[in-house]
Amino acid sequence: MSLDDQWFSEAFESEGVAFSLRVRRKLLDERTRYQHIEVFETSHWGNLLTLDGCVMLTGRDNFLYHEMMSHPALFTHAAPRRVLIIGGGDCGTLREVLRHPDVTDAVQVDIDEGVTRAAARFFPELTEANDDPRAELRFEDGLAYIKSSGDGTFDVVIIDSTDPVGFAEGLFEAPFLREVHRVLADGGVLVQQSESPLLHSESIIRDLHGALDEAGFAHRVTLPFPVPSYPSGWWSATLAGKGVPVNRFRQADADARAFPTRYYSADVHRGALAPPAFCAALFSGLESVTTG
Ligand code: SAM
């Protein structure tokens, strides 16, 4: 990461690519016990949040990610009431979850309270739902929290974490995902941010499907979507069902939704279920077998 002549750059050495945004000034530089949190004011992309030098979100394109990390899973579940978010400290995903009027409880568990403090100061549009009486914000390790949750406690679990390194690595592995399977009620749905289809299909995404299968999630599907500020500009969310297919969703309810979205729609959801040809078998998981 560098701030040369007013550019923020994040390089991906292993991929021979970098992403840069012109910045006007740095608004925050804080080292918590977990991460290096920085916020920049950019010239054209609103504010930029980075953790340990990695882009987490910009004011301009975060809606793509937050909408696709929430609405597909919630409209896939038959009747989501109780939602758990692991990570998600910027609170953008929480805001989208709480747009669903039938959701009764949304528990967010992020290890680093500094991220939420930074979001409240520099991305207030993302934290606007934090005072919703249905919301509970906890600041602890999701790997520990999940073990303290009872069987069948949640209908939807959203894993909105950083990349699978450091204290986030275990969130992509079978032991944790087996706990998620246990705390989901029958018919429950998991959604996990699953990195770049272009860069990670033969690594992180493939390994995640294997860990989900090992954890008892036979029904899986990976939904690709654009996020220009993320590595390769192309990201994904992987859905997994506890005893239910995840390539079908409540299309009429999605069409009739009473809240605004800028990217998500029933058509976008349906389109995202059609996997790119180069990773069709991987992205469709069991669904490609059971539904042809
Ligand atoms: N959209 C981003 C992405 O795809 O990389 C993720 C955004 S959100 C800011 C990521 C959050 O995951 C961070 O706030 C971080 O503190 C949290 N996190 C990472 N590992 C965690 C863990 N083991 N338990 C709870 N939160 C964790």
pLDDT in tens, 221-275: 999 999 999 999 999 999 999 999 999 999 999 999 999 999 999 999 999 999 9
Between CA 202 and CA 216 the distance in angstroms is: 21
Its pTM stands at 0.96
For residue 284, what pLDDT band results from cuts at 50, 70 and 90?
Answer: confident
Ligand 1, atom 27, lies closest to the CA of 87
Residues with beta carbon inside 6 Å of ligand 1? 56, 65, 86-90, 109-112, 115, 141-143, 160-163, 167-168, 171, 193
Asked whether residue 288 carries a pLDDT value surpassing 80, the answer given is no
For residue 286, what pLDDT band results from cuts at 50, 70 and 90?
Answer: low
On whether residue 286 sits in a domain, the answer given is no
| Local structure of residue 151 (DSSP, 8 states) | T
For residue 283, what pLDDT band results from cuts at 50, 70 and 90?
Answer: confident
Between CA 42 and CA 228 the distance in angstroms is: 15
On whether residue 291 sits in a domain, the answer given is no
- Which CATH number does the domain housing residue 11 bear? 2.30.140.10
Domain that holds residue 15: 2-60
Looking at the fold, whether 184 and 251 belong to one and the same domain comes out as yes
More confident residue, 281 or 196: 196
Tokens encoding 96 = 């989208």
Pick from 40, 60, 80: which residue ends a domain? 60
Give the mean model confidence (pLDDT) for residues 23-43. 97
**Helix H or strand E encompassing 263:** none
Give the mean model confidence (pLDDT) for residues 194-203. 96
Position 98, amino acid = L
Kind of pairing, strands 47-51 and 105-109? unpaired
Instruction: Return the number of other C-beta atoms located less than 10 Å from residue 192's C-beta.
Output: 27
Kind of pairing, strands 105-109 and 36-42? unpaired
On whether residue 292 sits in a domain, the answer given is no
